[in-house]
Structure 1
Amino acid sequence: MNFIAFQDAFQERDVIPVNDILKRFPDFDTRRLVEWQEKGYLQKIINKFYSWTNRPISEDRLFFTANRLCHNSYISLWSALRWYGFIPEGVYQVFSVTTKQTHNFDTPLGYFHYQHVKPDLFFGYRPIGTSQREFLLAEPEKALLDTLYLNPALRDSLDIDGLRLNMDIIAEACTPDTLTLYAQAYQNKRVEKLTSLIIQHLANG
């Protein structure tokens, strides 16, 4: 198969898994992928996942890619906090939560970090984006609580202050009832305490 046929089949795709190539072209010779990389047509993201070279990198593309590189994951933690405007700092990695083991991918597109949670905590996310780039993103409340839970060094009001959370934006995006309900699911007294502190901040304006 020549490159033109391959391009016609996958040009709309940001992430091209080898399995999808073989489903579409069962006789495909994977040595072509090496050849097309050398010519600068494609780049390997990680083993068995490819993308187009020189395609613009955007936040939604990175989030979409993160979902595709690890099934059973959704965007959360610092990436989701930044997406919602809850923190002022830029985030230069893509943070996700997964039921799989904690792991990382250092790729030509960027650094992807996946943090393990038990299946009981794999909830509170929703699809965001377009039909071409739809990805799973933590709900505002869940992004906050994942961050509290997966950063055990956060223990008191001083630590909450250190996060430099934009409480005005959080008050618009989150409800105290949902924060309380979700916090109970973690069955973690530290998370419940920190959630109560955040709710107090929101109540005090």
Structure 2
Amino acid sequence: MNKIDFQKRLIPYGVFSLENIYKSFPDFSYKQISRWQKDGFLIKIKQGFYAFADQKIDDYFLFLIANKIYEPSYISLEKALKYYGLIPEEIFQITSVSTKKTNTFNNPIGSFSYRHIKESLFWGYHFISNSNQKVLIADAEKAILDYIYLHSELKTENDFKELRINNNSFNENINLDKLNKYLSKFKNKKLNKRLEVFLKTIQND
């Protein structure tokens, strides 16, 4: 097995699993993975998942990793808020929500965190695509609701001011009718009140 053929076949996946490898190369030796990790050809993303060391690292690739190594999940919370320009801080951890348990994975490429959300709230996301791959990310409105819902400590105007929401980006990206429609699907009176405070904070800022 030579590296050129291997990379040509697997690179369209971006992040590839052992299953992907054996599907392309049924006689592939697992020991070869260890050798290629040692010589810097492959990077281990998580048990059973790999990427090429010369892979370009950008937000899209990080989102792809996040989606693939813990399914089902979609990008949300701080990283999605940053993606939509709603918060000013750089977010280095790739944040997602999942119906699986809360978890975090660290690897040479980055840190990937997942917050548990119940199945009835696993919606409000869409695909973004790049080349051969698609990744799931929360709609801007759902990212806000996911964040407020999972950060129950945020209750007052002062709490929400600390988020430093960009008003221009909020007005450009957030459809208030859609936000309220999504809110109604949560069926959560406490969240209703907290979102009301959040919106008041935005209006008064």
Q: TM-score band (shorter)?
A: over 0.9
- Check whether the contact 1:179–1:195 (CA below 8 A) recurs between aligned residues: no
Query: If the length of structure 1 is used for normalisation, what is the TM-score?
Result: 0.93
Shift of 1:129: 2.8
Q: 1:24 to 1:72 in 2, by over 3 A?
A: same
Q: 1:163 to 1:204 in 2, by over 3 A?
A: closer
User: Could you tell me which residue of structure 1 aligns to residue 16 of structure 2?
Assistant: 16
Shift of 1:55: 2.2
Shift of 1:14: 1.7
Query: If the length of structure 2 is used for normalisation, what is the TM-score?
Result: 0.93
- Check whether the contact 1:82–1:91 (CA below 8 A) recurs between aligned residues: yes
How many angstroms apart in 2 are the aligned matches of 1:114 and 1:173? 24
1:153 and 2:128 aligned: no
User: Could you tell me which residue of structure 2 aligns to residue 110 of structure 1?
Assistant: 110
Which residues of 2 match residues 1-205 of structure 1 at below 5 A? 1-201=1-201
What letter corresponds to residue 137 of structure 1 in structure 2?
I
How many angstroms apart in 2 are the aligned matches of 1:5 and 1:130? 23
- List 4+ stretches of structure 1 deviating above 4 A: 201-205
Q: 1:117 to 1:148 in 2, by over 3 A?
A: same
SS of structure 1 residue aligned to 2:13: coil
Unmatched 5+ residue regions in structure 1?
A: none
Shift of 1:13: 3.1
Unmatched 5+ residue regions in structure 2?
A: none
How many angstroms apart in 1 are the aligned matches of 2:131 and 2:194? 37
Q: 1:179 to 1:11 in 2, by over 3 A?
A: closer
1:56-82 CA-partner distances (Å, limit 9, x unpaired) = 311111011111111210000000000
Name the count of aligned residue pairs: 205
What letter corresponds to residue 163 of structure 1 in structure 2?
L
- Check whether the contact 1:176–1:199 (CA below 8 A) recurs between aligned residues: no
Q: CA RMSD in A?
A: 1.6
